[in-house]
Structure 1
Amino acid sequence: MAAYILKRLLLMVPTLVGILLVSFVVIQFVPGGPVEQLVQELRGRGAGGEVAATSNVYRGSQGVDPERLAEIRALYGFDRPAHERFLDMLWRYLRFDLGTSYFHHKGVWELIVEKLPVSMSLGLWSFLITYAVSIPLGIAKAVRNGSRFDLVTSTAILVGYAIPGFVLGVALLVLFGGGSFLQVFPLRGLTSDNFAELSLMGQVLDYFWHLAMPLACLVVGSFAVTTMLTKNVFLEEIRKQYVLVARAKGLPERRVFYRHVFRNALIPLVTAFPAAFVGAFFAGSLLIETIFSLDGLGLLSYEAVIRRDYPVVLGALYVFSLIGLVTKLVTDLCYTWVDPRVKFDAA
């Protein structure tokens, strides 16, 4: 096992380098980079772009002189060859120095940490609610397969799955966010302006009061996949030969289910926990964050792509790729923890 873990850790290095290399090469061919955007902004302001006091003639259409353009390219590091910039970026990333944003003028780490509370709040609670509801519901559906309860719950979760989260968000805002009907829930932010003045219980209630509508939009469509997966896995185990043998020996149905079926059926669900847990943190929904005015990692990544803020784009990609690779390793190790029969060093 130690040799397997070491080999996986060593393989992460070329994988990360490959991801960054492909992304870096693609970025070189994307039009409208940070230099071009700043030049366009300077032209818009008028690199002599004030209104002349005497003639009232706007001079904003004048271009940027070559010396100023060279200064801008040097400011962003584009005065050096691409391979030098890539190697310099790799060396900084090895020291976990993600650089500074071109437009926010802050460190990339600082920006990620600043936006993380929103993504953590949405991700953590949506993950917990989804699994807390879906797994018991899937088990109940498997036990009552074909019953009216199974039919009604399947219809309900599939209808929820068919409704896009952003459409539900707009509907909730209209109905309960002060749109055309009621003002029940707040429209923006994770907390109220007077959050610090509230009691501990008041702060908890205020926090979940702000999260109610965004979480509803995120989890309603998530129930279907996990619930149906749980149901199908349990049904598959219930129909296996060892269950028939256990019943033939006269074991109580409750013992057969919880002692044998439950443990084996949970293997694919438990081993998916690490990826689902981490993914929920960092796969924030841009549309949900935009609709409810939540400034999280989804909005940060979108703005970085639009503005060609390459340090933020590549830095966020590096962090998420590293977390993803580590999560895949943890997921594989969970197989051996749940089922000791799994051996990675076997032929």
Structure 2
Amino acid sequence: MYKYIIKRLLLIIPTLFLILLTNFAIIQSAPGGPVEQKIAQIEQEQKQGAMESKVTPTQNYQGSRGLSPDMVEAIKKQYGFDKSAPERFWLMLTNYAKLDFGESFFKGKKVTDLILEKMPVSISLGLWSTLLIYLIAIPLGIYKAIHHNSFADKTTAFILAITYAVPVFILAILLLVLFAGGGYWQIFPLQGLVSENFDELSTFGKIKDYFWHLALPLTASTIGGFAGLAYLTKFSFLEELNKQYVLTARSKGLSENRVLYGHVFRNAMLIIIAGIPSAVVGIFFAGNFLIEIIFNLDGLGRLGFEATQQRDYPVIFGTLFMFTLVGLVLQLISDISYHLIDPRIDFESR
């Protein structure tokens, strides 16, 4: 097992390299980069200032000819575009090896500080939604497997089909309209993770305020995420229930609970555990970014979305690096948990 862990840790390096290289090539080739945006911003400010003050264009701004070549070169140097693409990529790699993700082009902060600043919001939403999804989906999946083809199984299947089909952002908007002052009930806050007077509240008041703000985002995220896991749990249990060792255990007179939770549960949960890393990464960094935008939650998802819009390359690549690294580490933890639950699984032979 130790050899496998070391091998997987070593594989993280080339995996990160290939992901960063691919995304670097794609993003660098996209039009409307930070240099172009900065030039357009300065030209717009200069035009507006010239019109309001009725003065002649400055030396850096030459009217219809735009910014002077010297000014354009200064902007390129400011954002590091005075170097070639391979030089920029190599410089990024050497900095990332020291966990130095650079400084945001537009926010005036280090990328590391921005990630640490936004992370508590994403962790709050991600942890609670993951916990709720697993607490609901796994018992529901087990119940559906035990009562396969019953009326309860068919009824819950219809409900799960609806929750799976409705996009998360549609559900989030619907919850806002219904319960956050969209014309019906003003029960929950419209935006933010806490109220403005949060620091003035008592301990109980802070807890209440925190979950009051999380109620709608968590509802949208949970409803949109537990259907797939419920079905995965159901079919895993159904597959195990039809195996020979279950028939043997029942023939020996073991109780149904002993058969189900003493034998079937451990084997059926292996595939669930294997899917935890991708589920966590999906909930934290993919599924919740829409939730953060719709409910105006200042987390990592919203940070990445705004950075993409602004072509804020240090933030884009910094968050991408962190998301990828977390995903790879979680996948390794999943494999280790796999082995701990069932020691018969030997990863070293892979």
TM tier, smaller: over 0.9
The answer for the alignment partner of 2:168 in structure 1 is 165
Deviates more, 1:330-339 or 1:227-236: 330-339
Query: Deviations along 1:8-35, whole A, 9 cap, x unmatched?
Result: 1112111211111122222332111111
The equivalent residue for 1:149 is 152
* Distance in 2 between residues matched to 1:182 and 1:237, nearest whole Å: 47
TM-score (ref. length: structure 1): 0.94
After TM superposition, give the deviation of residue 148 of structure 1 in Å: 1.0
Runs of 4+ in structure 1 deviating by more than 6 angstroms, as ranges, are none
Letter in 2 for 1:99: G
Unaligned runs of 5+ in 1: none
The 3-state SS of whatever aligns with 2:67 is coil
Displacement of 1:95 in angstroms is 0.3
How far off is 1:244 after superposition? 0.8
CA RMSD of aligned residues (A): 2.1
**Does residue 1:241 correspond to 2:244, yes or no?**
yes
- Aligned-residue offset at 1:50: 2.7
Give the structure with the larger helix fraction.
2
Aligned partner of 2:19 in structure 1 is 19
Three-state SS of the structure 1 residue aligned to 2:17 is helix
Q: Would you say the 8 A contact 2:277–2:327 is kept in 1?
A: no
Q: How does 1:1-347 map to 2 (within 5 A)?
A: 1-46=1-46, 49-51=49-51, 53=53, 61=64, 63-346=66-349
* CA apart distance, 1:274: 3.8
Deviation of 1:162 (Å): 1.5
* 1:54–1:292 distance in 2 versus 1, CA, 3 Å: closer
3-state secondary structure, aligned to 2:50 = coil
CA apart distance, 1:279: 3.9
**Across the two proteins, how many residue pairs are aligned to each other?**
347
Q: What one-letter code is carried by the residue in structure 2 that aligns with 1:305?
A: T
Q: Deviations over 1:128-153 (max 9, x none)?
A: 00000111111111111111111111
Contact conserved, 2:106 with 2:312, CA < 8 A, in 1?
yes
Measure how far apart 1:52 and its partner are.
5.6
Structure 2 distance, partners of 1:114, 1:260, is 45
Give the Cα–Cα distance (whole angstroms) in 2 for the partners of residues 287 and 22 of structure 1. 24
Aligned 8 A contact 2:35 2:79 in 1: yes
Aligned mates of 1:80, 1:54 — CA distance in 2:
38
Aligned CA distance change for structure 1 residues 54 and 78 (closer, same or farther; 3 Å): closer
Q: Give the residue type in structure 2 aligned to 1:44.
A: Q
2:169 maps to amino acid: F
Quote how far apart the aligned CAs of 1:278 are.
Answer: 4.4
Which stretch of structure 1 is more off in the superposition, 270-279 or 251-260?
Answer: 270-279
Identity of aligned residues (%): 51
Amino acid at match of 1:307: Q
2:192 aligned counterpart, secondary structure = coil
Change (3 A) 1:36 1:56: closer
* Offset from partner CA, 1:169-189 (integer Å, 9 cap, x none): 222222211121111100010
Contact 1:47 1:62 in 2 (8 A): no
Kindly state the Cα deviation for residue 285 of structure 1 after the two structures are TM-superposed: 2.9
Whole-angstrom CA distance in 2 between matches of 1:32 and 1:53: 30
Moved more, 113-122 or 207-216: 113-122
Equivalent residues of 2:163, 2:223 under 8 A apart: yes
